[in-house]
């Protein structure tokens, strides 16, 4: 990964709210618990916003949580699989371009689906287990996205 990671953490949560993938792009184990907490807080806020949007026909906010360093973005598929990205804040008060963030989510979804549909990535009990190839593909694909985001800074 590049020295300046923009995308810090990824959480993929299935339709029953079980974490499937929790991947740290920062490789900083000291922040792991903080990132996981932000993923689950973002998930709670995301579900509230989705229910609110269903009743009010309003657009969903893309940033669900924000602290001094990171913004938490969420994306839900039609199968209710949720993708949570923790992205470093920009130096300005602006957030990242929604279309670029959505494109990142779609790339992640594509990689995840390829791994999910591989019949060898399941335990005998039938539960999905992410493969090392998934993490390698995520690292490779998001490396390019990191560069795009860093050009936006």
pLDDT in tens, the chain (153 residues): 344 568 889 999 998 989 999 999 887 788 888 899 889 888 888 888 777 766 554 444 456 666 678 888 888 888 889 999 988 876 655 566 777 888 888 899 999 999 999 988 888 777 888 999 999 999 998 888 777 766 665
Quote the pTM value: 0.81
Highest CATH level, class, for 7-152: alpha beta
Could you give the CA distance from residue 46 to residue 48 in angstroms, rounded to a whole number?
Answer: 5
Closest listed residue to residue 82, CA positions, set 128, 127, 43: 43
Could you give the CA distance from residue 148 to residue 37 in angstroms, rounded to a whole number?
Answer: 27
């Amino acid at each position: 990964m590049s020295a300046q990671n923009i995308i810090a953490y990824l959480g993929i949560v299935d339709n029953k709210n079980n974490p499937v993938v929790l991947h740290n792009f920062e490789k900083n184990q000291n922040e792991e618990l903080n990132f996981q907490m932000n993923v689950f807080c973002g998930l709670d806020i995301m579900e509230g916003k989705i229910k609110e949007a269903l009743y009010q026909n309003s657009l969903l906010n893309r940033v669900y949580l924000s602290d001094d360093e990171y913004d938490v973005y969420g994306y839900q598929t039609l199968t209710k699989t949720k993708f949570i990205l923790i992205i470093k804040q920009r130096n300005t008060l602006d957030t990242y371009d929604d279309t670029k963030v959505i494109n990142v989510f779609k790339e992640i979804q594509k990689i995840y689906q390829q791994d999910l549909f591989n019949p060898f990535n399941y335990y005998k009990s039938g539960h999905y287990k992410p493969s090392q190839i998934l993490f390698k593909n995520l690292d490779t694909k998001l490396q390019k996205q990191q560069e795009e985001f860093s050009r936006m800074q």
